[in-house]
Structures are given as C-alpha cells and as structure tokens.
Structure 1
Amino acid sequence: MDSQLGISEAEMNEMSLVLQSRVATDILTQVEGMLEQRTSVTLNIAVIGESGAGKSAFINAFRGVADDAPEAAETGVTATTQMAKGYPHPNARNVLLWDLPGIGTPSFQPNTYLEDVGLLKYDFFIIVTADRFQQCHYTLAKYITQAQKKFYFVRNKVDRDLEANARRRSQKCLSDDDILMQLRANCEKNLTIGQVETPRVFLLSSFYPQSYDFPALQMTLLEELEGHKQHALLLSLPNLSTSVIQSKRKALAGAVWQTAMATCLSSVGVGSTMHAVVPKLMDTLKSYQQAFCLDDVSLQRLASITGISFEDLQREVTSTFGRQLSAQEVEGCLSQAVSAKQFLVTQLERSVPILGTVVFGGIITFAASYILLTTALKNLSEDGERVMQKVLIVSVCKQNS
C-alpha cells in the first residue's frame, strides 16, 4: 500500500535496506552509485542503408535537431558518409547514433560489411531505405539476425510517395492508407523472402517525425531494450507522443527517493539543511527540464525544426518548474511542501525509523524534497504534452497545405 506521501511500500523497503546499519557517508555513496548507474551506460545505435536513403536526416530527426544545426549529421543528395561517424544526443551524450557508410556502392561488400563496421559494437541496427527494396537489404538483415542482433527496417520519405500519388491525374488515386499498406506489405514480403521472421517495418518521414510510424518506432525500441540502456534511450527521445512523455515521467519518478535522499544526506552539517539542498535540487530540476525538452536550448532547437517561434513554444510552458526556475522559487516551494505535508513526516519517520537518526533531523527536508520533485515531474510532463500538441497541430497543417 502506498503511503500518503506517495512513496510505495517497495520504495519504503528499499530505503530501509539501504539505510540499515550505515552511517550517512556510506549511505550517500551507495545512493549516488545507484543514481550514477542510470546515467553512465552507453547506447550505440547503428543506422545503415543505401546512399541517398536519408540516413543522416533520420539521425537528425531521431535526435531532435535541425539538418542545419552545428551538431547535425551532414545531409545531401550524394554519398556523404565514407566512414562510421557517431552523433551523440545533444542532451544525452551517452546515446550515440552512428551513421555508417552507405550500402549498394562499389565499396560495399555484403559478406564483410558488418565486420568492417564493427558489428559487435552496436546495440541494434536500423536499416533505412527510401526506394524499392533491394537484395542488399535482406542480405544485411539476415547477417544481423545470424549475429543475434536486432534490426528495425525503416521505409523513409513516405511523404514523397503520398505526394506522388496525389499528383497522378491519369488514373484513380489510391488513398493514403492504401499506399502505406502497399509499402509495408512489400517490405515485409521481401524481408520474409530473405528468411527474416516477423520483420519490424516502420514507415516514416524524417521531415514529419510526429506523423506516420516515427512514434511507434520510438515505443518499439523502448519496449525491446532493458535496464539502464532503456532508461538512457528514453530520456534522449524527442517528445513525439504522450506515451513517451508519460514513460519519461514514470522512469524519473522511480528514482525520486534516491535523488531526495542523496540531496538530503549531502547537506548534513552544512548550515540550514533546507537552504543547503537548494543547489542540488536546482540541478535535478534542470535535468528534468532537459528530459522533457523544455529548457531554453531544447525549445530553441525545436523552434528551428518546426518553424514555430521560440516564444510561441515557451507560452505552452506554464508551470513554475518549467518557467520560473530560480533558487528563491525552489526554496519557496520547499517551504510550502513542509507546511502542507508536515503531518506526513511522522508517518515517514514511523515507516523508516532509521532515517531520522541517520540524517540528524533531515527527515523533514527529505519529505519536502520528495514532494517537490514529484510535483515537478507531474507539472513538467504536462508542459511537455502541451508543447507536443502545439507542434503536432502545426505539423498536420503543413502536411495538409
């Protein structure tokens, strides 16, 4: 049963195990180690495909950066990738997308390609194409599967196929759904011919990541990754769906007690405990803003991609933690949390009695920090959804114009 504070019984038990028979410095080391494990893992994603398929544009869209941004992968109509190059996510440097040399070129040798690019280095592969299915696609898919690695097949530039269909005047146009169904069936059929069982095919456009199968690709990757690598990918993803935003909130909420505990323990003996925790809480709240793509840099990046002004996007961010993040605001929120939830401190002290002893009275600060961070996650996720809806509306209007 969850406590009134919102801490589950499982979290209470975990806290008790960590706190049992340890002094504050030992507990702090253990809790900080638990938090570091969530951010220290590296995720390597390989993106392969024939020259001109839009691999670089896909990498930029996946990372949420504009094609002309300084950190963008180079795009062009000719082959721009001669050797593997890794592009880290702007806000999550431990997540890298690797633009691999194009297949279907004279230098491409199917039998040695994967070995040449370092097959074992990558966690999974994304095969990108934009035209007719080629033999090299299922050859690569077969070799990747034989190496017990996962791959996902992306049919890029489907907006171009739909536009071409709409321009046909000499024959009755098929519906968009019919065109997409044909494209998907063709890819799945050819992969099956290549002895690939249950192929995962995603139809998308790097120019409209909010549409088609881009959000579905995100969720599939999350579902099939595990542990800290799943967490790393999740926090790096642009907000293309409510599911991604809510998954971020849930993942970050799972570490709130460790964050509040580390914040509280690190302030032991440093003047006023309540005042001393503010800088660390500020750092955590800034990381939350980045995770939900709400910091100024992320909003500027989104503005350059969508054409929506930074000011219009910022107006969708209405929470205190999204817009008015300052030391004074954080300290004020802490004080409000203490006064509003004072009666819950006794319950927490009873549930985890050693906490009050170890932190030397910091239990009130812990409770206030926990409440503040939990509230911030709720408010920031709601801000993220408003910004996402704004972008989605503009994207639909552009596609229909």
Structure 2
Amino acid sequence: MADQQDDVCALLNHADEPGLERAIAKARELVDRLDNVVLNIAVTGAAGAGKSTFVNAFRGLSDTDEGAAPTGETETTMEIRAYPHPTMPNVKIWDLPGIGTKNFKAKTYVKDVKLQNYDFFIIVSEKRFREYDIMLAKEIQKNKKNFYFIRSMIDQDIANAERRGVTENDTLQKIKNDCQENLRELGSPPVFLISSLYLGRFDFSELLSALETDLPDRKSDALVRSLPVYSRQCLEKKYNTFQKAVWALAVVSGGIAAAPVPGLSAACDVAMVATFFTTCYRSFGLDDNSLTKLGMRVDKPILQMVKESKLVQAIAGKTFLSSQFVARLGAAGIIESVCSLVPVAGNIAAAGVSFATTRSVLLEGLKELYRVALQVIEMAELT
C-alpha cells in the first residue's frame, strides 16, 4: 500500500496542484483538449498553384483517393470547402478559392472567406507570388493571424533545371532568393519550398516547426497528431505528443478508482486505454489502408510485417487490446475493489493502483506501436 500512496503523492506533486480533486480536474481538462481541440487551417492560392494537392497531402491522401479535394490546372476550388481530417474530424483544412477569382473579388475577399474563422493561412504559389497574395498577407497581419508562404511543385522545378545541368542546391537557392525578393515589401518573410508528392524532402519539416512554434500548445499537438507520417522526425514528434496524454489519462484513472463504485474503474480503464491505442494506431499510419498505399508505393510487403505485432492485430481486429493488457487491467480492478473497502486510506490506495497500472499499460502499448511504426519507416526508407 505504501507504494501506491507514493504513486498518488507523485501524481499530486507533478500536477503542481494541491489535492486529488484538483489534479484530476486538471488531467481531465488536458485529456479533453487533446481529444477535442479544434484546428482550422486555411489554404489559398492562384489557379493551378497546387493548393488542392497540398490539402490532400496534408491529410495523408492522394489526389485520387475518396474524399480528396479535386485538382486540376484550372481553378477547381469555386467555393469555400472544408476537408475534415480522416481520423481527427476536429482538424479541418479549408480549401479557399484564390483571391481575385470570379466569385471572390480582391476588395471583398477577406469578408467573403470569413478570415477570423481560421487559425492560420497557407498561401501557395507555383511561380511568383502575386500582388493579390501580398494584399491578402497584409490583411491577415491586420487581423493578427499568421500566414506562411509556400512555393509548391519544387520537385518539378529541380527536374527541369537538372535537364539544363543546374544542380538541385543551386535551383533551391535561386527559387528561395527570387521569392524573398518578390515579397520584399512584407519584409522578405520565410518561404517554404514544398513538394506535396514528397513531404519528407525540402522544407516541409521547417514549415511544421514554424507552425508548432506559433500555435498554442493544444493546437500544436493537434497539428502534429493529424500529420501523415512522412519521416522519422515526424513520428518522433507524434510519439512525444502522445506521451503527454499518458500521465493525464493515468490521473483520470486514479480519480475514478477513488470513487467507491465497484467495477467502475476497471471498465473505464479498458475503454480509455482502448481509445488511446486506437488513436495512436491511426495517427502512426498503422491502419490497413495507410499501410497498403505505402506498401504499393515502395513495393514492399509492409502490411504483413506490421501484423506480427499482437497489439496491432488486436486493434485491426477491433478487439482493441491484446490479452496481456486486459489481464493486467482486470487484476488491478480486483485489487482496487478490495482497497476501496477500507475508508479513506483504501480509496487512496485504489487510486494509486489504478494510476500506476494504467500508466504502465499506456506507456508499454505506446512504445509497442511506436516500435512498429519505426519499422515501417525504416522499411519504406522514409528518413
């Protein structure tokens, strides 16, 4: 019992709040923020700039997938349209018509697109940024929002330049210099060179780092969790974000165990752990659809290799938890029930057992899913 009381004391100290109830309330707030935070990303640019392809890539989709934003050389975005993230519906990428198009005149564009509805703007161009793009950036600044310039289709520029004998580094530097000169009246803000077909190359990681720095913590975490796994660095960011949730979920588990309701804690723990693992599984790109597409792209049997993990098998089979985790949570529930028979001290001991067991199970499962996802990245050679 002393060990369990030590766990609760550590829990309270880490919360930096006096009292179990306040710690639980703080943990519940964190869990709610992680699961329900709303993030609205606006993407705009001229016709043919590649903004719809970028919207699809950001959501982990190809242009031909069901639910993908329509793409084309002409203006395919004729109205404001939201594209919810496939596994995180509270994260929405808004494909906006370009400023100065037929139905969205420059003078009324800010009002027409309801600028205040978005957390930040991504302005996409495949060549030079236009006068209208600069005008929009100035309006975004006035409304105290952030904007990020993306120069798209960089892979095509490099391929074209290499046929003329120009190196990749020289091409990238020239494009960046030209763009910053083009945007001089805005103070030459950073321009991120992106290929939507190869997110792991060029400046996508730098764009992500800028977004993480500028966004509030809760929205930054939602952004990271929603990204497709395009590199080892991206996977590690996701892993670190999910680690933040482990402690909060364990605290909530301890609070439920302290309530004198037989069987409640074990049932809630199983549900919380299963939901957490399923979220990680999808965010890490371990679902069948994601792995099948990746396997076809790299011509390797990735799906079969992943299914060797018992936890992945359980989630894919919709049993959600492997047998050893269910057994540990069940055993903890029995101990908690016995502890709760002892007034006050028993409730504290039950909270400690639940906190320690849930935290251990969550961390082990998270590490297992991370290990499998890392194997996928290595096999697919996504450095």
**TM-score interval (norm. to shorter):** 0.7 to 0.9
Give SS of 1:87's match.
Answer: strand
- Comparing 158-167 with 313-322, greater Cα deviation is found at 313-322
Aligned twin of 2:216 = 226
Residues 129 and 11 of structure 1: CA distance in aligned 2, closer, same or farther (over 3 Å): farther
**How many Å apart are 1:284 and its aligned residue?**
1.9
Q: TM-score, normalised by structure 2?
A: 0.83
Aligned twin of 1:399 = none
Aligned with 2:110 (options 102, 114, 122): 114
- Comparing 104-113 with 290-299, greater Cα deviation is found at 104-113
What is the RMSD of the two structures over their aligned residues, measured on CA atoms?
A: 3.6
Give SS of 1:215's match.
Answer: helix
> CA deviation digits over 1:229-260, x for unaligned, max 9?
11211110112233332222222222212212
Residues 355 and 287 of structure 1: CA distance in aligned 2, closer, same or farther (over 3 Å): farther
Aligned with 2:31 (options 35, 42, 56): 35
**How many Å apart are 1:9 and its aligned residue?**
8.8
Residues 296 and 18 of structure 1: CA distance in aligned 2, closer, same or farther (over 3 Å): farther
Aligned with 1:142 (options 130, 135, 138): 138
Q: Which runs of 5+ in 1 are unaligned?
A: 397-401
Distance in 1, Cα, partners of 2:293 & 2:55: 15
Residues 59 and 97 in structure 1, CA contact (< 8 A), matched pair in contact too: yes
Aligned twin of 1:167 = 163
Q: Structure 2 matches for 1:355-366, cutoff 5 A? A: 357-358=346-347, 361-366=350-355
Distance in 2, Cα, partners of 1:355 & 1:292: 41
Residues 158 and 8 of structure 1: CA distance in aligned 2, closer, same or farther (over 3 Å): farther
Q: Structure 2 matches for 1:12-161, cutoff 5 A? A: 12-15=12-15, 17=17, 19-20=19-20, 22=21, 31-103=27-99, 105-161=101-157
Give SS of 1:294's match.
Answer: coil
Residues 27 and 248 in structure 2, CA contact (< 8 A), matched pair in contact too: yes
- Letter of the 1:384 partner, please give it: A
Q: Which runs of 5+ in 2 are unaligned?
A: none
Aligned with 2:183 (options 191, 206, 224): 191
- Comparing 375-384 with 27-36, greater Cα deviation is found at 27-36
- Letter of the 2:176 partner, please give it: R
- Work out the number of aligned pairs and report it: 368
**How many Å apart are 1:213 and its aligned residue?**
1.5
Aligned twin of 1:369 = 358
Aligned with 1:182 (options 159, 162, 174): 174
Distance in 1, Cα, partners of 2:230 & 2:104: 34
> CA deviation digits over 1:35-88, x for unaligned, max 9?
112222211111010001111100000111121112211112221111110111
> CA deviation digits over 1:343-401, x for unaligned, max 9?
xx9xxx9xxxx9964366353233121111112222222322222333345xx9xxxxx
Residues 391 and 204 of structure 1: CA distance in aligned 2, closer, same or farther (over 3 Å): farther
Q: Identity of counterpart residues, as a percentage?
A: 32
- Letter of the 2:229 partner, please give it: N
Aligned with 2:276 (options 281, 284, 300): 284
Segments ≥4 residues shifted beyond 6 Å: 6-10, 26-30, 336-339
- Comparing 266-275 with 102-111, greater Cα deviation is found at 266-275
Distance in 2, Cα, partners of 1:64 & 1:37: 23
- Comparing 319-328 with 205-214, greater Cα deviation is found at 319-328
Residues 249 and 272 in structure 2, CA contact (< 8 A), matched pair in contact too: no
Q: TM-score, normalised by structure 1?
A: 0.79
Distance in 2, Cα, partners of 1:100 & 1:82: 8
> CA deviation digits over 1:135-180, x for unaligned, max 9?
2222222222233221111111111111112233xxxx11011001
Distance in 2, Cα, partners of 1:391 & 1:32: 38
Aligned twin of 1:247 = 237
Residues 132 and 315 of structure 1: CA distance in aligned 2, closer, same or farther (over 3 Å): same
Give SS of 1:277's match.
Answer: helix
The yes-or-no answer on 1:238 pairing with 2:232 is no
Residues 154 and 328 of structure 1: CA distance in aligned 2, closer, same or farther (over 3 Å): closer
Distance in 2, Cα, partners of 1:135 & 1:218: 26
Residues 40 and 92 in structure 2, CA contact (< 8 A), matched pair in contact too: yes
Distance in 2, Cα, partners of 1:316 & 1:276: 28
Aligned twin of 1:209 = 199
Residues 327 and 177 of structure 1: CA distance in aligned 2, closer, same or farther (over 3 Å): same
- Letter of the 1:85 partner, please give it: R
Aligned with 2:287 (options 295, 308, 313): 295
Residues 261 and 175 of structure 1: CA distance in aligned 2, closer, same or farther (over 3 Å): same
